[in-house]
Chain A
Amino acid sequence: MAGLRLLNLTRESQLSWLRVVILSGIGILAFLSRLFSVIRFESIIHEFDPWFNYRATQKLTESGFYDFWNWFDSSSWYPLGRVVGGTVYPGIMVTAGIIHRILNALHFPVHIREVCVFLAPAFSALTAVAAYLLAGEMKDSSAGLLAAAFIGIAPGYISRSVAGSYDNEAIAIFLLVFVFYLWIRALKLGSAFWGSLCGLFYFYMVSAWGGYAFITNLIPLHVLALMAMGRFSSRCYVAYSSWYALGTLASMQIPFVGFQPVRTSEHMAALGIFGLCQIMAFTQFLRSLLPARTFQVLLQAAALLAFGGGLAALILLTTSGFIAPWTGRFYSLWDTGYAKKYIPIIASVSEHQPTAWPSFMFDLGFLIPIFPAGIFMCFQELRDEHVFVILYAVTASYFAGVMVRLMLTLTPIVCVASALAVSKLLDVYLKDSNANEAEGDPSSTNGDNAATQPAEDDPVGLISKMLGIPRHYVRSVVNTRWLVVGSIAWIMVMFAWHCTWVTSNAYSSPSVVLASRGPDGSQHLIDDFREAYYWLWQNTPEDAKVMSWWDYGYQIAGMANRTTLVDNNTWNNTHIATVGKAMSSPEDKSYDIMVKHDVDYVLIIFGGLIGYSGDDINKFLWMIRIAEGIWPNEVIERNFFTERGEYRVDDEATPTMKNSLMYKMSYYRFQDLYGGQQAIDRVRGTPIQSSKVKLTVVEEAFTSENFIVRIYKVKKPDELGRSLESAQTFDEGKRRRKTAQNKSGKRSRKSRAGSKKQSE
């Protein structure tokens, strides 16, 4: 303080400087705490979807904006292709592209990959600032600083914004919080400027993430609640109208959104409230002109007419098909059984599962138990902006309960509400109680004024009497003020540990590179995915078509640069079901499908050797289910279960299971690793079938070090017109010796991953 005073600063500017320093500290911390994966592994794009975003960003930086905008990607969804420009939220790619261009213009020769990897941490620093502003509007800047600190390290947000997680959410959460801040600001000031700014950032949000629908519905809900509470004002009118008009027009410029804001049910609430705002404003205008009696009659008639007319029009337009009903993805949030029954592809994604309570504690730590306290305090004050917090909390907590993934939208409001609660507590207890005394309050809270009133029944007095220690000694230990503040500080330190631990253990794996620990604690990296994709890139023709389950489509396109049949943009369920059918059918049937789709290579993931549980045999049931949805008579899930309803891969497995292409490709030559002993699948924890797995329509092309990725080449049709099976039997009969020699030669080279005894 003394140093600052030398700068001739007033107390006010000292405080604001302090705020700036703390806030930048929080921003830096938020950035740094997301770097675990870069330090442990390397600067690498994570998981699945980011690989597509990365590939699209590369396209953007290499061939320019207009090429990107009109990009038709013929190398995905073979043979359909995909109109990328029109089916993508371009916000994140354009953001990264602009940052890359600015850095290069400033002569920082940064590769686009580094920009993509570090985009999410950088934006989370901005999110902290946005949370500071939002919570500042609710209470004051000290609540703002707490909210910023909470959101900077809350695992619920880190889970989606670690370095390398180059996905839409990386920038969308910043935009979400900032749009809400601008909205509150516009509402408070009744300013068209802030409302327009809100509309502009809403446009940015729409361009970045499909979750913008949350804003599109929450702001109208807020306005509706204000109307119901009789708080509709010209400020509200100005803010909402400027946001809605500008934001909607701007959002329609995104090709993927297009005319949806006027044609789908998700957006109707915003439109309806916009109309209601006009009516309310008009009636208020009339009220000022007409006598009270006439006005009452007119108001009632107009309200009835407007409501009935609007509802009838909505129903008519929906049934006539002009307004699309709720899409399946949104509808499944209301009717939670819907997706499981009708859209298995949505139900199959693990992040679309409901949330169990430990996940809430895991992602938000101690913030979740005191979250209701924050909401309670909002109810106590209940200014317009507090109504917003309450509505946000109620809706977001429902969504987070239905889908693990939407924990992300809940996190900001939990941080803000809990920050309100904690800062209120700190306000009360950090206030010097001596000040109370000076004001002449005789019954000051913790009995400090022993001189004027020797209270015997307060905690300090009681303890000093019981132990026979003078009052002032006891008072220095049993000081309510410092006990409360100390406990809260301790809990917050714990929270920081909690967040660091969760981030480091759960959210920092790139999932492209796996890490395992040896018995001595040393780290061992498993890099099978990149090994296999590199092999594909180097050893296959450039126009080769690779068939794999949709999870790996983006990675194959991004890392191996090969054409895929299906990928993580799951827009065509039938095409995915085709792949599922090819995987789950017997070889001859699969072969027909693969030939029809020009498949050259088949890529599968197999974890049985090292116990990688996210492999294709575990995902197999979903492939079957999705295929069954389209061909219920050809793929039957029941046939993959034993009589007792078990899903088995050993000798007890059903013939359908054993004959399916996926099963065969997974376990082909797996036994060879065990040198005559029983082969054990370490994921399922069972031995596999004891007879040898035979493949006739595909041949093994590549298997990665730990057997995680296996690539098979689809054979060309037999030149003599025989079936591939009979051709193979014929060949084997003729050249048994030769193939046996070949195999043993290969085996000794491969077996280093298996048992060492065998090669000796």
Chain B
Amino acid sequence: MTLHRRRLPLAAILLCAVLLVFSSTVSGAPAGDKLDQLNKRLSSNPSSPITLSQKDYELFTSKPRNYSLIVVLTAMQSQLNCHICRDFEPELKDVTAAWARQKAPNTLFFGVLDFKDAQATFQSLQVRTVPIVYYFPPTASATGKVEPETYDVPRKGKDAEDFANWVEATAHVKIGYKKPLNYAAIFSALLVVMLVIVLGKLFSDNILWVLQNKLVWMALGLVFVIMMTSATMWNSIRGAEYVGVRNGQPEVIAPGFGNQYVVETQVVGLMYGLVSLSFVGMVHAREAKGVLGQWGPLVLLGIFMFLLSWLFAVFKRKNGGYPFGLLF
């Protein structure tokens, strides 16, 4: 018993020591090792970001760090349907490539953490929107800042220029990103211009006929006016969804006065067109002869009144306090 009692503290100390050693290997590998690992990862493809796993993320972001690390949290899986992630990927590659050309080893690394590899990390960081960029400064930096900074891609801009500017400002490095000349676009533009000139020369009569045709201009003008008055610009500026979903059912009419779906504006535009068509029809049907003259005005009046009432009914649904309605 006594022996036993005397040995206990020793065992405890041993245990503590083991735990200490163990925990230090888990929480922070020496910074130099991590740098080697990062460079090893990078050497295979220096001009694109390092794909990180959950373990890598924990390892490389742990303190101490003698390097800067930029981690892009993204979700590239197709079922997650993140358009902006896919848009941002090439931009990120361009910035990384520009950084690789700077030949400044061991200072700044780019990494990508995908949602499918590290769901737990995403949860612990409480990430709500992707892609989001975290910047981990070196632990012994001149500014004394250790906590990561974020770059919210949807809000701050997904263009490589914006991103590179942010990196330059936060990491105090020179990325030297220049927007590459889009040769494909220039050549295709040239091709199109030449094609237009050639076709114009070949079919000059037909083109002139189209250009001088009142019907073509009328169709263009009317479609444009209808599109504009059914608020197409709102859709493109606000990036409206095509169709809404409510309780698993597709929803055509968005609730609320200041909100709309793309399909909704298309329906409304179609209604404008049909209302106007029936209106013009009424004017002409009266002067028509035969059956059209007898039935036309009544039928068109019915269509006109029905569609207009329907428009007002939809309007009333969107604008709660509106008291009026035509037929229903």
Contacts and interface: CB of A to CB of B under 8 A. Distances in A.
A290 interface: no
Contacts of A370: 275-276, 279
Interface string B289-328: 1110111011001001101100110010011011110100
Given A366-B308, A372-B225, A394-B224, A494 B326 contact: yes
Interface of A: 336-337, 341, 354-362, 366, 368-373, 375-377, 379, 382, 390, 393-394, 397-398, 400-402, 421, 424-425, 428-429, 443, 445-447, 455, 457-459, 478, 480, 483-484, 487, 490-491, 494, 497-498, 501, 505, 632, 638, 643-645
Contact of B225 (A357, A394, A483, A632): A394
A390 B234 CA distance: 22
B119 interface: no
B311 to A, nearest CB: 6
A671 to B, nearest CB: 29
Contacts of A398: 224, 228, 233
B221 A375 contact: yes
Nearest to B325: A494
Contacts of B323: 501
Given A373-B276, A382-B214, A357 B298 contact: no
Given A373-B280, A497-B324, A645 B129 contact: yes
4 shortest A-B CB distances, which residue pairs? Answer: A401-B233, A373-B276, A397-B228, A372-B276
A397 B293 contact: no
B170 to A, nearest CB: 10
B294 A459 contact: yes
Contact of A632 (B126, B169, B222): B169
A401 B218 CA distance: 20
A632 B151 CA distance: 13
B214 A375 contact: no
B231 interface: yes
Nearest to A638: B150
B318 to A, nearest CB: 5
Contacts of A645: 128-129, 152
Contacts of A491: 308, 326
Given A375-B222, A428-B286, A459 B295 contact: yes
Counting chain A CB atoms within 10 Å of each CB, which of B129, B259, B291, B322 scores highest?
A: B322
Given A372-B225, A446-B297, A357 B264 contact: yes
Contact of A358 (B237, B271, B315): B315
B228 A356 contact: no
A354 B233 contact: yes
Contacts of A336: 233, 236-237
A354 B237 contact: yes
B198 interface: no
Interface in B266-280: 268, 271-273, 275-277, 279-280
Contact of B293 (A382, A443, A498, A638): A443
Contacts of A447: 294
Nearest to B267: A357
Contact of B231 (A360, A501, A632): A360
Nearest to B307: A369
B282 interface: yes
B51 interface: no
A487 B305 contact: yes
Interface residues of B, number: 68
Given A356-B258, A445-B293, A369 B287 contact: no
B283 interface: yes
B279 A368 contact: no
B229 interface: yes
Contact of A498 (B280, B318, B321, B324): B324
Contact of A428 (B217, B224, B228, B287): B287
B214 A356 contact: no
B319 A480 contact: no
16 contacts: A356-B257, A357-B268, A360-B229, A362-B319, A369-B275, A376-B276, A377-B283, A382-B214, A394-B228, A401-B228, A421-B279, A443-B293, A457-B294, A491-B308, A497-B324, A645-B128
B202 to A, nearest CB: 21
Contacts of B217: 379
Nearest to B297: A480
A264 to B, nearest CB: 25
B61 interface: no
A487 B300 CA distance: 12
Contact of B280 (A341, A376, A393, A429): A376
Given A336-B233, A425-B279, A484-B282, A379 B221 contact: yes
Contact of B294 (A375, A394, A429, A445): A445
A401 B287 CA distance: 37
A483 B272 CA distance: 22
B276 A371 contact: yes
B315 to A, nearest CB: 5
B257 A358 contact: yes
A354 B319 contact: no
A455 B234 contact: no
A458 B224 CA distance: 38
Nearest to A391: B221
Given A370-B275, A483-B298, A644-B126, 9 more contacts: A358-B258, A369-B307, A370-B276, A373-B277, A379-B221, A424-B283, A445-B287, A457-B291, A483-B301
B48 interface: no
Nearest to B219: A379
A358 B318 contact: yes
Nearest to A369: B275
A644 B271 CA distance: 42
B238 interface: yes
B29 interface: no
Nearest to B254: A356
